Amino acid sequence: MGLFAVLSFLTFLIFRHSSKIFATTSGRDRATAQLLKAGQALRRDLEMIRSNSSSLRIGPVPASLGGGADSDAVIFLSAVDPTTQQAQTRLDGSPFWMRNVLYYGIIPLDYSQGIGQTMTGSNLGGYEMSCPTKQLVRLEVDQNPGNNPSDASSEDSLISNFLPLLTRPSAGTNSATRKTVASNLLSFRCQQFGPELRIDLRAVSIEEARKDKGFGSGILYDQGRYTLQHTFSVFGRN
């Protein structure tokens, strides 16, 4: 009986250790998958843009929790026809702008469901860096449905004030024009340096972060133990 008790206890320890490893691996895999989904979507759209001020604008997303800005927002003109997925041009070969495309990172209305608690909000350099359940949303705005490349007056122009478009989503609110590209992100930053757009995406292995006593209010931006980062640059055309 004593030997059986010892073996049972060792089996329990092995099982608990294996469960911890599985939870850690699964959490990181899920975070990595969301970062890759966000990066692929951004690359696909941003590689087609023009980097001048009349075709692109970047700004912060207002704070949802009272701390810093949720993340960044980037809006740009796209010449890609949403139906044919082909780039449209004018007679002189320059892009014919078919629509506005907006990406923004934001804390969803039901953010606490993903972590089982509410957050107090934080501020690191003007940005919120404690809530790891932000969503990257992609929105299309067509100012002139049915616009025709042969008619310059039907071309879309850049929406300068995109703040009214930054609505907070909840589960199951995707539509044909507004979709959640990635979930459970910590941050989305987009900075412009001439023709270069530098993208910094971060996500958290929530299972690991939950063990931290500061989880819920602590800064998660550079926690190498469980915060993952995906950075890349896209060079727009002049």
Residue 141 CA: distances (Å) to CA of 5, 78, 157: 66, 10, 10
Instruction: Report the pLDDT value the prediction gives residue 6, as an integer from 0 to 100.
Output: 52
CB-based contact 11:199 (threshold 8 Å)? no
Residue 191: per-residue pLDDT = 96
pLDDT of residue 18: 41
C-alpha to C-alpha distance for 70 and 101, rounded to whole angstroms: 19
Q: Helix (H) and strand (E) counts for the chain?
A: 2, 7
Given the DSSP bridges, would you call strands 99-106 and 72-78 parallel, antiparallel or unpaired? antiparallel
Question: How high is the pLDDT of residue 12?
Answer: 42
For residue 8, the model assigns a pLDDT of 54
Q: What is the pLDDT of residue 172?
A: 67
Q: What is the pLDDT of residue 96?
A: 92
The pLDDT assigned to 217 comes to 79
Rounded Cα distance, 235 and 9, in Å: 58
The rounded distance, in Å, linking the Cα atoms of 124 and 70 is 11
> pLDDT 10s per residue in the chain (238 long)?
665 555 554 444 444 444 444 344 688 999 999 999 999 999 999 988 888 889 999 999 999 998 899 999 999 999 998 888 888 988 888 899 999 999 999 999 999 887 888 888 899 999 999 999 999 999 999 998 888 888 888 899 999 999 999 999 987 678 889 999 999 999 999 999 999 999 999 999 998 888 876 787 789 988 778 999 999 999 977 6
Taking the model in full, what pTM does it have? 0.86
Q: Of 128, 108, 123, 99, which Cα lies nearest the Cα of 189?
A: 128
In whole angstroms, what is the distance from residue 100 CA to residue 77 CA? 5
Residue 25: the pLDDT is 61
